């Protein structure tokens, strides 16, 4: 299957270094709000998180951004999952957004750490009961004998715990990506896209333009 002719023109907007301002996280929030407003973007908070495990093997997967807090992006996951184990060994991670209708990409790099138990508890409690049960019964990333067995486990747990106040399992919680670098990409005509990279150095953001 050749895709040589899959080619799109980008001409919706432009991006200059001056627009980023002092704090690129604030600029990201502006782009994020625009993505949220677009009725063509279904999950603006879906981001691809890449990790590298102890054998230097990379993996990427989509997770949902749940908070932008100071210089951090927070998502929730199972700490014993493939990504959770990779982060334990190597906390350098990357998270990226591609909002096709806006012809924009944003790439974050930084260091991952677990959020506090208190923070994870608060988020866990805010989830619907069915999602809490899902997080409890799923040993994320483990091989399972069958999907039906998982459903049985889910139903049994539900029956035994209906109406009870569930506690967050210790192996499930927030991951905070403490951002050190952000790259903003805006598609332009003739493949001459705009790229601006911001790096946090000694507590101050430095911005530079990159060649497309």
Ligand X SMILES: Cc1cc2nc3c(=O)[nH]c(=O)nc-3n(C[C@H](O)[C@H](O)[C@H](O)COP(=O)(O)O)c2cc1C
What residues make contact with ligand X under the rule CB under 6 A?
A: 43, 46, 59, 61-64, 75-77, 81-83, 140-141
At its nearest, how many Å lie between ligand X and the CB of residue 19?
29
State how far the Cα of 31 lies from the Cα of 40, in Å rounded to an integer: 15
Given the complex with ligand X, which of 51 and 186 has the nearer CB atom? Answer: 51
Is 61 designated active site?
no
Task: For ligand X, give the closer residue by CB, 17 or 150.
Answer: 150
What are the C-alpha distances in Å from 109 to residues 49, 124, 128? 10, 26, 31
Residues 6+ apart with CB under 8 A from 150: 137, 138, 144
Q: Closer CB to ligand X, residue 27 or residue 75?
A: 75
Q: How far is the CB of 174 from ligand X (least distance, A)?
A: 10
CA 97, CA 146: separation in Å to the nearest integer?
33
At its nearest, how many Å lie between ligand X and the CB of residue 116?
18
**Alpha helix positions (H), the chain:** 17-20, 24-37, 82-89, 117-126, 129-137, 147-161
Of 104, 127, 191, 201, which one is the catalytic site residue? Answer: 191
Catalytic positions are 191
């Amino acid at each position: 299957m050749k895709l040589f002719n899959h080619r799109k023109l980008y001409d919706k907007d432009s991006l200059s270094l001056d627009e980023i301002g002092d704090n690129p996280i604030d600029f990201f929030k502006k782009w994020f709000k625009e993505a949220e407003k677009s009725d063509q973007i279904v999950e603006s908070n879906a981001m691809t998180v890449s990790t590298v495990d102890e054998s230097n093997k990379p993996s990427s997967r989509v997770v949902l951004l749940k908070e932008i807090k100071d210089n951090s992006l927070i998502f929730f996951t199972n700490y014993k999952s493939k990504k959770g184990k990779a982060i334990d060994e190597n906390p350098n991670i990357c998270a990226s957004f591609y909002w096709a209708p806006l012809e924009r990409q944003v790439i974050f790099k930084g260091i991952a750490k677990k959020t506090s138990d208190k923070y994870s508890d608060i988020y866990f409690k805010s989830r619907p009961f069915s999602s809490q049960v899902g997080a409890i019964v799923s040993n994320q990333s483990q091989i399972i004998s069958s999907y039906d067995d998982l459903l049985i486990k889910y139903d049994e747990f539900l029956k035994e715990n209906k109406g009870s106040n569930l506690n967050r399992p210790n192996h499930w919680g927030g991951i905070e990506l403490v951002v050190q670098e952000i790259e903003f990409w805006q598609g332009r005509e003739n493949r001459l896209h705009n790229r601006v990279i911001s790096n946090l150095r000694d507590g101050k953001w430095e911005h530079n333009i990159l060649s497309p």
